[in-house]
């Protein structure tokens, strides 16, 4: 059984788009069904391969935004200006279209209940996507592992999953903080600057709680946040990172 599962993960298989969900002006989720999907852990990603009529191929990786659910998986794609793949996924694909996918991939940047907590999620831009899979898994299983979530976005319209997060805050006792780095609406009561040590000290689990931290986003963001966490006393071994490139990964 394990061998069949490995084979299924190694090979390219077909995913069919069954639904689109607009998350923000530049971000769209694709709900994909893949018959025979072997399941996945929160934090894992898939590779997508597109093939042009002349045979040209491009591959990209996208984090799975949702916890395991039969043959379904959702990826959340940010439109990259002048990108090659994201404009196609967001603007050209239609419901019913098929794409090649491979996975799930990832053995380190994953969370499951056995890893315990408390858990600190810190995401920059679309780096919140794999963190949402972790948070959604925790909510769905009714786990009582304490979670805190800090996200950084450029402006209010770029914040993702707002309604859902508000619901999680009120029902599940998860502390959610958003910081806006370029502009914020009048009356904004949250932080309005890049994540720094003072913000981590104010909103993240304190070091003596020994949280398991997951930091995801562009390379510069991840390294700045990880460095800040260590500088305020968090253990490097309890910080897991995933860097996204400018083209989504």
Q: Which residues bind other proteins (CB under 8 A)?
A: 6, 9-10, 12, 14, 45, 47, 49-54, 56-59, 61, 82-84, 88, 92, 97-100, 102-103, 105-109, 218-220, 240-245, 249
What minimum distance in Å lies between the beta carbon of 130 and other proteins? 9
Which residue's CB is nearer to other proteins, number 87 or number 207? 87
What minimum distance in Å lies between the beta carbon of 109 and other proteins? 6
What minimum distance in Å lies between the beta carbon of 44 and other proteins? 9
Place of tokens 């490097």: 236
What tokens does 21 get? 């969900």
Helix (H, G, I), strand (E, B) or coil at 36: coil
Which residue's CB is nearer to other proteins, number 82 or number 186? 82
Interacting residues of 233 by C-beta distance below 8 A, sequence separation 6+: 207, 208
What minimum distance in Å lies between the beta carbon of 231 and other proteins? 16
> What is the H or E stretch that residue 199 is in?
helix 197-203
Which residue's CB is nearer to other proteins, number 47 or number 172? 47
What minimum distance in Å lies between the beta carbon of 170 and other proteins? 33
Angle among Cα 11, 99, 101 to the nearest 5 degrees reads: 30
**What's the CA gap between 46 and 30, in Å, rounded?**
13
Asked if 145 and 117 count as a contact pair (C-beta separation under 8 A), the reply is yes
Which residue's CB is nearer to other proteins, number 30 or number 176? 30
Which residue's CB is nearer to other proteins, number 127 or number 146? 127
Which residue's CB is nearer to other proteins, number 51 or number 166? 51
Give, in order, the Cα–Cα distances in Å from 119 to each of 54, 97, 138, 187, 207: 47, 37, 10, 30, 12
Place of tokens 């996945």: 40
What minimum distance in Å lies between the beta carbon of 94 and other proteins? 10
């Amino acid at each position: 059984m394990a061998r069949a599962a490995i084979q299924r993960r190694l090979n390219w298989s077909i995913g069919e788009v069954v639904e689109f969900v607009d998350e923000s002006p530049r971000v769209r989720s694709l709900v994909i069904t893949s018959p025979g999907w072997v399941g996945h852990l929160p934090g894992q990603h898939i590779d997508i391969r597109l093939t042009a009529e002349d045979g040209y191929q491009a591959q990209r990786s996208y984090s799975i935004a949702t916890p395991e659910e039969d043959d379904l998986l959702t990826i959340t794609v940010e439109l990259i200006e002048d990108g090659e793949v994201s404009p196609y996924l967001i603007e050209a694909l239609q419901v019913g279209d098929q794409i090649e996918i491979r996975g799930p991939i990832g053995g380190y940047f994953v969370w499951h209940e056995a890893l315990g907590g408390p858990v600190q999620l810190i995401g920059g831009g679309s780096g919140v996507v794999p963190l949402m899979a972790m948070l959604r898994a925790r909510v769905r299983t009714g786990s009582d592992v304490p979670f805190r979530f800090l996200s950084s976005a450029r402006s209010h319209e770029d914040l993702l999953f707002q309604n859902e997060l508000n619901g999680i805050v009120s029902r599940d006792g998860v502390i959610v903080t958003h910081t806006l780095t370029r502009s914020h609406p009048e009356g904004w009561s949250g932080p309005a600057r890049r994540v720094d040590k003072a913000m981590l000290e104010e909103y993240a689990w304190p070091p003596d709680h020994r949280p398991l931290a997951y930091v995801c986003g562009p390379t510069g963001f991840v390294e700045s946040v990880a460095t800040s966490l260590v500088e305020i006393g968090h253990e490097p071994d309890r910080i897991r990172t995933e860097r996204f490139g400018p083209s989504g990964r």
